[in-house]
Amino acid sequence: MKEQCMLDIAKSRFTTKHYTGEKIPREDLDAILEILRLSPSSVNSQPWHFFVASSDAARAKIAPAFADFNQARVTLASDVIVFAVKTGLDETHLRRVHEKELADGRFAGIENQPNLDAGRRHFVGLHSDTLEHAIAWETQQTYIALGFAMYAAAGMGIHSTCLEGADFEKLDEILGLHEKGLKSVVALSLGRGKPDDSNAARPKSRLTPEEVTSVID
C-alpha cells in the first residue's frame, strides 16, 4: 500500500551524522531542487531562495560559517543547500508571484483576480509589522520546504542532515546575502551516509501517540 510505503519512510529516516564524500546522482539532486520549488507556502508567498553548494570549493567556501560539529557534514556531504528568506516581501516580489500565477493559468475563469492578489497582500501584511516578524513568518514557510526535501530525500534513498548549528550572519556575509535582500535561516546536507553511522542503528524515539495527539469532540 502507498500509505504503508510513506509510513515506512518516516519510520526508517534518520539524521545522518557521518558522510562518505560520495556524490549523489545529479538527476536526484535536480529532483530535490524541483521539489523545493514546488513546496507549498502560505498564500503561495514563496518567500525563499535556495543556494546549492555542490563542488568541493563551494562547500569549503561556506564551511567556516558552520559549527565545528557540523564541519564534516558540510565538507563530506555530496551537496549542501542553504535556505534563505527575503528580508521582507516587497512590491517586486509580490507582483512577480501574481504575474506568474496569471501566466500559469492558476486563476483561469475566476473574475476577481485583483482580489486574489489583495488577499495575499493582506496576509503578508499581517506578518510585516516588523522586519523580525516578517522574517520569522517567512522562515516558517521555508521550513515547510525543508520538510518536503528531507522526506523526499529519504524516499530516494539519500541521507540528509538539517543544519541549524551555524553562524548565519557569517553565512550571509560569505554569500553576500545582505546585498541581495536575503537572509539565511537553515541548511540541509545531502549525500551518502557511512554504513557505521552512529545514528543509523539507534531506535527511533518519539513520545506516544496519546501524548502528542488529541481528538477534538
In the chain, the number of structural domains is: 1
Residue 209 lies in a domain: no
Give the SS3 label for residue 55.
Answer: coil
How much of the chain, in percent, has pLDDT values that exceed 90?
92
Measure the CA–CA gap between 80 and 188, rounded to whole angstroms: 6
Residue 200 lies in a domain: no
List all residues 6 or more positions away from 71 whose beta carbon is below 8 Å from its beta carbon: 63
Instruction: List, for residues 26-76, the tens digit of each pLDDT value.
Output: 999 999 999 999 999 999 999 999 999 999 999 999 999 999 999 999 999
**CATH number of the domain bearing residue 162:** 3.40.109.10
Q: Note the pLDDT of residue 113.
A: 73
> What is the domain extent for residue 147?
2-195
pTM listed for this prediction: 0.95
Instruction: List, for residues 153-200, the tens digit of each pLDDT value.
Output: 999 999 999 999 999 999 999 999 999 999 999 999 999 999 999 899
Long-range contacts of 199-203 (CB under 8 A, 24+ apart): 199/14, 199/15, 199/16, 199/17, 200/14, 200/16, 202/14
Residue 10 lies in a domain: yes
Residue 214 lies in a domain: no
Residue 206 lies in a domain: no
Side chain identity at residue 106, one-letter code: R
